[in-house]
């Protein structure tokens, strides 16, 4: 069974009865990417699958004002899955939902609808967007009261074959759970930092890929808890080690053919691929608040820790924003290295697609590749090559987002305005907070 199955109402009801499913979670995300759900008992399954379950949208981050709060959950039946673990009261299944108004009209604040709209824009241009994200996360120990710490259980490194520890056992259990739900996992391994792991899905169409990421987050946290570990997708929880990213591989297909591959072109990259790269680079600053949405996201994006800080592309090295993996043919793709897993994948993928399509539409050339290590270049060398920098912090990213009309157009006015408001408030709160570093540095000296 593929990650996106094929179900109808009767098949789901029959399966729930056969498997003893007692509760169905109607799952969706708010604009910040937080998983939400409304859970119904077996007696309400039919009503839920018919899209007749209402909820109060005014209680969800960035949805609607209280005077227009009633929303409906419209399930995507192909996303039906039964969780592979037992819960108190009986087995639980889930189905992902789009948010609609009570008259059936699409709700402009639904992140999943935003990504579907971007995918449909690509289809109208003749392309099917295929994405393959690499989701990284940390597994930390819990304290005696069950609270999260930043202590790890291992001292492993990238692809290490260390003796099996609790973190590795947990990761294997996560993979088993995902596979039992029908997802195809391409790789799972230890990452560079202690306690850091990565799980990669097989590439898929855009909406299906975002669905996988929100499912991954839920499963990772649940299984980690079973191992008395805390899983976090926080981009930079530890000083002095690499942070967690979500490098996103992207390609466009038409009639089963990869439109990024041209065996006759230099580097075997088609004009379409070059224009797509040009679009990603042109809108890199404007996308950044969406792909890297936390104050903490920018603690990861500093020189020396494999996260990009410069707006350039490369054939092979890992310091630029956009990298071209070596595979060609159907495997030809571009890798955007800036996103992290704290983003809302529906919104992040939507703005990436919008940027790439804009590059194709405007025939934007990305310039020559920079195949040297940018982190070791002098300031003069960077200026000579006209290498621009990514935003330095969330404030700069919000400012860049406000200057890029494409991001507003892709997200729609509703999500755009609520997103900017939420992120501006987060930055203001962070700026007004006295942090331990300041106390340690200044209290005794001044």
Distance CA 340, CA 297 (A): 7
- CA dihedral 13→18→19→21, nearest 10 degrees, is 40
Query: pTM for the complete prediction?
Result: 0.92
Q: Report the pLDDT value the prediction gives residue 237, as an integer from 0 to 100.
A: 92
Indicate the pairing of strand 257-258 with strand 246-254.
Answer: antiparallel
* Distance of alpha carbon 349 from alpha carbon 339, whole angstroms: 10
Q: Show the domains of the chain with their CATH numbers.
A: 9-107 (3.10.20.70), 117-435 (3.30.590.10)
Helix (H, G, I), strand (E, B) or coil at 62: coil
Among residues 63, 76, 172, 78, which one has the least CA distance to residue 108?
63
Whether 310 contacts 227, CB under 8 Å:
no
User: How big is the chain by its Cα radius of gyration, in Å?
Assistant: 22
Cα distances from 53 to residues 70, 73, 106, in angstroms, run 10, 6, 15
The pairing of beta strand 91-101 with beta strand 21-29? parallel
Sign of CA dihedral 281, 359, 354, 133: negative
- Which tens digit of pLDDT belongs to each residue from 80-99? 999 998 877 789 999 999 99
3-state DSSP percent of the chain in helix, strand and coil, to 5: 40, 20, 35
Buried b (16+ CB within 10 A) or exposed e, 44-73: ebeebbebebebebeebebbbeeeeeebbb
DSSP letter string, 63-130: S--GGG-EEEEEE-GGG-EE-SS--TTSEEEEEEEEEEETTSPBPTT-HHHHHHHHHHHHHHTT-EEE
Instruction: Measure the CA–CA gap between 398 and 408, rounded to whole angstroms.
Output: 12
Distance CA 384, CA 4 (A): 48
Which of these, 269, 131, 322, lies nearest to 209 by C-alpha position? 131
Q: What is the C-alpha separation between 327 and 310, in angstroms, rounded?
A: 24
Catalytic residues: 56, 134, 136, 191, 198, 247, 318, 335, 337
CA distance 123 to 106: 19
pLDDT of residue 65: 55
What is the 3 state secondary structure string of 19-54? HCEEEEEEEEECCCCCEEEEEEEHHHHHHHHCCCEE
- What are the residue ranges in the chain where pLDDT is below 50? 1-4, 66-67, 156-160
Q: Report the pLDDT value the prediction gives residue 190, as an integer from 0 to 100.
A: 83
Nearest to 4 by CA among 153, 152, 206: 206
State residue 67's pLDDT score: 43
């Amino acid at each position: 069974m593929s990650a996106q199955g094929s179900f109808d109402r009767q098949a789901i009801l029959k399966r729930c009865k056969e498997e003893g499913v007692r509760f169905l979670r109607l799952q969706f995300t708010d604009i910040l990417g937080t998983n939400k759900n409304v859970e119904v008992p077996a007696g309400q399954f039919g009503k839920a699958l018919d899209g007749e379950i209402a909820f109060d949208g005014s209680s969800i981050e960035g949805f609607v004002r209280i005077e227009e709060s009633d929303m409906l959950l419209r399930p995507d039946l192909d996303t039906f899955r039964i969780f592979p673990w037992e819960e108190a009261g009986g087995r639980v299944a889930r189905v992902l939902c789009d948010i609609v108004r009570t008259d059936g009209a699409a709700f402009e604040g639904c992140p999943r609808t935003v990504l579907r709209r971007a995918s449909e824009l690509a289809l109208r241009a003749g392309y099917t967007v295929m994405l393959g994200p690499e989701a990284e996360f940390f597994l930390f120990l819990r304290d005696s009261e069950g609270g999260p710490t930043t202590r790890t259980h291992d001292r492993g490194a990238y692809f290490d074959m260390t003796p099996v520890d609790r973190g590795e056992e947990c990761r294997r259990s996560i993979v088993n759970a995902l596979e039992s739900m029908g997802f195809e996992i391409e790789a799972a391994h230890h990452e560079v930092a202690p306690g850091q792991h990565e799980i990669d899905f097989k590439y898929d169409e855009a909406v299906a890929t975002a669905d996988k990421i929100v499912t991954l987050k839920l499963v990772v946290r649940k299984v980690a808890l079973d191992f008395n570990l805390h899983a976090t997708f926080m981009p930079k929880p530890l000083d002095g080690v690499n942070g967690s990213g979500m490098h996103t591989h992207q390609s466009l297909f038409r009639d089963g053919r990869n439109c990024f591959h041209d065996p006759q072109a230099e580097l075997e990259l088609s004009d379409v691929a070059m224009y797509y790269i040009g679009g990603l680079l042109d809108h890199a600053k404007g996308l950044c608040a969406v792909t890297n949405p936390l104050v903490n996201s920018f603690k990861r994006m500093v020189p020396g820790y494999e996260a990009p800080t410069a707006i350039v592309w490369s054939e092979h090295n890992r310091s630029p924003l956009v990298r071209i993996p070596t595979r060609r043919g159907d495997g030809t793709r571009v890798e955007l290295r800036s996103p992290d897993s704290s983003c809302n994948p529906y919104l992040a993928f939507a703005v990436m697609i919008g940027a790439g399509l804009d590059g194709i539409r405007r025939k934007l050339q990305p310039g020559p590749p920079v195949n040297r290590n940018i982190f070791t270049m002098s300031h003069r060398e960077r200026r000579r090559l006209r290498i621009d920098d990514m935003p330095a912090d969330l404030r700069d990213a919000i400012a860049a987002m406000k200057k890029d009309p494409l991001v507003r157009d892709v997200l729609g006015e509703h999500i755009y305005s609520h997103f900017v408001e939420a992120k501006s408030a987060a930055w203001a709160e962070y700026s007004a907070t006295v942090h331990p570093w300041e106390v340690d540095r200044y209290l005794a000296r001044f």
